[in-house]
Amino acid sequence: MNIKLTPEQEKFIEIQVNSGNFATFEEVIDKAFKLLEYQQWMEETPEKIDSGVAELDRREGLDGEAVVMDILNSRVGWVEER
């Protein structure tokens, strides 16, 4: 894939590499994508928490102990052996 950068973007990347913050152009781009992913996660997480809290308020949540026991039984058979 080829992308076209503005002169400002190219200069920014050059500064980052020349300053020693990154070894290559690719590292700068990789970091930029990771930051975008993190930003998206930060925007989505409060909504997911609010949704989960609303479910719990409506008594639609799951019993935490039952969920843990199901996981243990299905993954390792740990509970059945005890």
Supply angle C-alpha 41, 43, 44, rounded to 5: 65
Domain definitions of the chain by residue range: 36-82
Give pLDDT, residue 76.
72
**Going by C-beta distance under 8 Å and a sequence separation of 6 or more, which residues neighbour residue 69?**
79
0.75 surpassed by pTM: no
3 state DSSP class of 57: helix
- pLDDT < 50: residue spans in the chain: none
Give pLDDT, residue 37.
97
Give pLDDT, residue 77.
64
**How many C-beta atoms lie closer than 10 Å to residue 42's C-beta?**
9
